[in-house]
Amino acid sequence: EPIMSEQVERAFQKQGNVNLNRKSLLMAKNKANPRWYKNIGLGFKTPREAIHGTYIDKKCPFTGPINIRGRILTGVVKKMKMQRTIVVRRDYLHFVKKYRRFEKRHKNMSVHISPCFRDVTVGDVVTVGECRPLSKTVRFNVIKVAKGSSSKKSFKKF
């Protein structure tokens, strides 16, 4: 039986690879939640929440049909105001030939973040992997989260 707390959309949310109508599921004693997940490769571990969680996300690289291919980038979480999408800031240096100096530049990119990454906050360093276009602006998926460096300027909870 699927967890009803995940059913918040109009369409029935389910994983395409799991048959919820099997008799063995109905007769099972332990009522374990059938779940499909995969190893995305490239040396990145599948999060524990992706394996044991109950969320349904068709754009998740661990529990959905999304493949990570192409570029692997890192950046800092800047905004978390969208649903399952964050804005990541990437800083880099650009060389100006005339003055033989570098100037600081940055790019913001919208990145899909799976519900398996629970306690992500602004300032955390995330590793993102390229995938197919998920929406008009989203072409990357979060595959790893590292806690941000706690500097003196940033506000901390405790």
Residues lower than pLDDT 50 in the chain: 1, 158
Residue with tokens 């240096």: 93
How confident is the model at residue 153, as a pLDDT?
A: 59
Q: Is the dihedral of CA 105, 108, 111, 113 positive or negative?
A: positive
pTM for the whole thing?
0.81
Residue with tokens 């999304």: 66
CA distance 1 to 120: 30
Contact 40, 62 (CB under 8 A): yes
In terms of Cα–Cα distance, which of 78, 86, 90 is closest to 110?
Answer: 86
CA distance 124 to 155: 13
In terms of Cα–Cα distance, which of 96, 100, 79, 97 is closest to 88?
Answer: 79
Q: What is the pLDDT of residues 51-66, one digit of tens each?
A: 888 888 889 999 989 9
Burial zone of 52 (CB within 10 Å; 0-12 exposed, 13-18 middle, 19+ buried) = exposed
Using alpha carbons, list the distances in angstroms from residue 37 to 18, 34, 147: 10, 10, 25
Residue with tokens 């978390």: 80
